[in-house]
Amino acid sequence: MPSRPALPDAAAHLVEVRRLALAFPGTEERVSHGRVTFRARLLFAVFSGMTKAAPGTPLRQYPDSVLVKVDPAELTALSQDPRFYLPAYYGPAGWLGLDLAAAPVDWQEVAELLDMSYREVAGRRLVARLDAEGSPAERLPGR
């Protein structure tokens, strides 16, 4: 029996981001403006992003990336990492994009970023449930 063809990286990355994001309590997936989004009361993750360098310049697409809302205390440190970018429209609200194509993906890091973003937007009950059940970031193999 022939083996299944390999998925392009972005598709394979979306599968893993989806698996991680949907493991958070009360999360649902929706497509909005052509992008896969994950919500727990409010939006906490978006697959695929873009950035605009300066007014009047074209948008730069990051089709293989995940956008997360970060803890304000972490924003400056994460912004120094070249894999991260300030996404158009979301950036001013405290979001960063992680370019999954920029380097080998550390899925533990992605899970921790999703956890941070979830905690920023989910209500108290969902966060309490997350704390009681344990974060998907804590359940990854090898942790």
| Confidence (pLDDT) at 11 | 86
Q: How far apart are CA 82 and CA 80, in angstroms?
A: 6
pLDDT-based confidence at 7, cuts 50/70/90? very low
Distance CA(62)–CA(35), nearest Å, equals 12
Q: For the chain, which residues make up each domain, given as ranges?
A: 9-134
Reference 68, options 50, 90, 52; nearest CA is 90
Q: Which CATH architecture has domain 9-134?
A: Alpha-Beta Complex (3.90)
Question: pLDDT digits over 28-86, tens only?
Answer: 999 998 899 999 989 999 999 988 877 788 888 989 999 999 999 999 999 999 999 99
The C-alpha angle 68, 131, 32, rounded to 5 degrees, equals 30
Contacts of 136 (CB under 8 A, 6+ apart): 20, 23, 24, 111, 114, 115
Token readout for 130 is 């997350």
pLDDT, one tens digit per residue, over 97-121 is: 999 999 999 999 999 999 999 999 9
